Amino acid sequence: MNAEIRHDRFRSVIGDDLDIEEVGSGFDFTEGPIWNHVENHLIFSDIPGNIMRRWRPDGSIETWRQPSNMANGNAYDPQGRVVTCEHATSRVTRTEADGSVTVLATHYAGKELNSPNDIVVKSDGSIYFTDPGFGRMEYYGLPREQQLTFQGVYRLDPESRALTLLVSDFDQPNGLCFSLDESQLYVNDTMRGHVRIFDVEARGTLANSRVWAEPTGERDGVPDGMKVDSEGNLYVTGPGGIHVFDAGATCLGVIYTPQGCANFCWGEEDMKSLFVTAGTSLYRVRVKTAGRRAF
C-alpha cells in the first residue's frame, strides 16, 4: 500500500489499497492544480517551465498559457474565473471569461510583493494569498532583491482591489485553506514545518493565531499545498507525501507519493480523484472521501 496508516479512520477517508497512477510527466516542477467541474478538465502550473497546462480525462495535455510569468498557485473564484499567483512578476492576476488577464495586486505600501505563492477564494469573492520569498530564488523564480522586510498573508477585495496585510510573522507562509464553514483559515509555514489556524472575523481579518498541527515523518518533504475535503479533513503536504488530519488535528496517515509532493486537488465527476503535482509529474489516486467543487 502506498500509504502509512496512523489511525484506523484513514481507511474510511482514503481507502485500503491506493493505486497512484502517473497521468502526465516530463515537466520541470508541477504546482497549482485546480479542477473545473463545468468543463471537466484540470489546469496546473509548471513553474520553471513558465507554462500552465490543461489535462483532460482522455489523457490529452495542452498548453493553457505560455508564458505564465512562472505561475504557481491557482484558484477559481465564485464566477469560475482563474486567479493566479505569479512568481516572475510578483503579481496576483485574474483570467476573465474572454481569456484576458486582469492584474489584481502588485504592491503593498508602495513596495513590490515578494512572490505570491498560494491562493484561495472565499465564497463572498474575497481573495486570500500567501507571499513568501521563494519566487525570488533561482529556478523557482527570478533572483532579485526583496523589497518588503516580511513574508505576509493578505486579503484582497475583488471589487475595490484594496489589499490588507493580515499576518506578517511567518517565516515562509505557503499553503492555505478555509474550514468548511469558512470560520477559520489554515496557513502553513514551510520553514517552520507546521500548520497554523486563525479565526476569520466578520470583516475578513484574522485573529487568535495558534499552531494547529505539524506533519512529521522520516522521509523528505515540507508543508506546501493544503486543502480541506468535503468532510472537513485537512490534507497537507509533508514528509513522504500528503498528510491527512481529521478536524481535531489527529493525523490519520500519509499518502506516499513517488516524488516530492508540492500540491494536489480533487477532481472528476464524483470529486474522488486526487490529482497530485509532484516533482516532474502529475499523478492521480482514487480516494473514498470527495473533495469540494470550487465554484
Alpha-carbon distances of 35 from 81, 117, 227, 264, 270, rounded to whole Å: 12, 18, 13, 10, 12
Q: What distance in Å separates the CA atoms of residue 93 and residue 118, rounded to the nearest whole number?
A: 12
Residue 116 CA to its chain's centroid (Å): 12
Bond from prior residue into 67 cis (ω within 30 degrees of 0) = yes
pLDDT computed for residue 158 by the predictor: 83
Residues in a beta bridge with 155: 128, 164
Domain definitions of the chain by residue range: 3-286
Q: How far is CA 37 from CA 34, 56, 80, 83, in A?
A: 10, 11, 10, 16
Residue 258 corresponds to which amino acid? P
At residue 211, the pLDDT reads 98
Q: Which residues contact 120 (CB under 8 A, 6 or more apart)?
A: 75, 127, 128, 129, 176, 177, 178
Question: Are 239 and 215 in contact, with CB atoms under 8 Å apart?
Answer: yes
Walking along the chain (295 residues) 10 residues at a time, the average pLDDT comes out as: 93 93 98 98 98 98 98 98 98 97 97 98 98 97 97 94 97 98 98 98 97 98 98 98 98 98 98 98 98 95
195 close to 209: Cβ distance less than 8 angstroms:
no
Model pLDDT, residue 159: 85
The whole-angstrom separation of Cα 261 and Cα 105 is 28
Count CB-CB contacts under 10 A for residue 161: 13
Q: Confirm if 115 and 106 have CB atoms less than 8 A apart.
A: no
Question: What does the pLDDT read at residue 16?
Answer: 84
Distance CA 101, CA 95 (A): 5
Beta sheet of 194-200, edge-to-edge order:
173-178, 184-189, 194-200, 206-213
Distances (CA, A) of 198 to 73, 186, 202: 21, 6, 13
At residue 207, the pLDDT reads 98
Instruction: Give the pTM.
Output: 0.98
Architecture of domain 3-286: 6 Propeller (2.120)
Q: For the chain, where are the alpha helices, taking DSSP H only?
A: 9-13
